[in-house]
Amino acid sequence: MDTQKLLDKAQQVYAYMVKAPENDWQRNMGNWDWKPGVVLIAAVAYDEAIGSDEVDEYLWRWMRDNRHKAAQQRVLNSTAPFAALTELLRKQPEAAAEWLMRPR
């Protein structure tokens, strides 16, 4: 598969996952849990590959909009979004202050 086809397919998968309707429990991104976490981790890798401001903005917006849910989940699966957050903070360490000072 050539590079352009691979990038096109990655974009299709990204769009399919992040634009899921709330009533689709398999793809619902409105929870701080395993499924959104796996999608976020993949989106971070996708963003690193293509360098998209749109993907980067989506990731940060998702973190801001959903971080208050992190304390509500007390199971191992709910740690998955933190893996994506760690990578975001590694790329933008100045954002760590906002995350820590405004946890909700």
How many CB atoms within 10 Å of residue 13?
14
Provide the Cα torsion 54, 59, 60, 63; round to 10°. 150
| Long-range CB contact pairs, 4-7, < 8 A, 24+ | 7/49, 7/50
Please tell me the pTM assigned to this model. Answer: 0.86
Each residue's pLDDT tens digit, 26-85: 888 988 999 999 999 999 999 999 999 999 999 999 998 998 888 887 888 889 999 999
| Ranges of each domain in the chain | 29-101
CA-CA distances (angstroms) from residue 60 to 7, 72, 75, 83? 22, 20, 23, 13
